[in-house]
Amino acid sequence: MKRLLLQVDGTPGQPPRGVAGLGIVVRDLAGVVLAWSCERAPATTNNEAEYLAVIAGLNFVMQRYPGAHVRCLTDSRVVVEQLAGRNAVRAAVLQPLYIRARTLAHQYGRVTFIAIPRELNRLADALAWEALDGRGWLARVGSDLRQSSSVQ
């Protein structure tokens, strides 16, 4: 069974908010990038954007890598704690997003959610910003990645 790392990040951007950038990176367990995507979605808060990134990422791997075991990595501890059932989802705007993410994870069947430090999620973050404004975020992160040997 194939095992994958799915890194996601979402950002509502700078005010005025309303459209979020979503970054999705799929890696093998050695850290090699297999696929990536950047998308836009309506959102006004960080947590909305993070949930939408999880949902988009799960949809992405379901379509491209059916049946794989997935470790979904995000720098949003709030989302991970809520999806793991350790924290309640109190914000009304997040409840439908939580239900969609949990439903997708349950349908897929092989998903583990893990919170990672922000500095280990730079590529997904750059893709999220690139989706918003295309100001060369990827080029800047790319030069950082060449200087570092760790998984970004």
Query: Quick check: pTM over 0.85?
Result: yes
pLDDT in tens, 81-115: 999 999 999 999 999 999 999 999 999 888 999 99
Nearest in space to 52 (alpha carbons), one of 115, 9, 5: 9
3-state secondary structure 43-87: ECCHHHHHHHHHHHHHHHHHHHCCCCEEEEEECCHHHHHHHCCCC
Q: Does any domain span residue 152?
A: no
Q: What is the CATH number of the domain that holds 74?
A: 3.30.420.10
Domain range for 90:
3-147
pLDDT in tens, 118-140: 999 999 999 999 998 876 655 66
Number of domains in the chain: 1
Nearest in space to 107 (alpha carbons), one of 150, 151, 70: 70
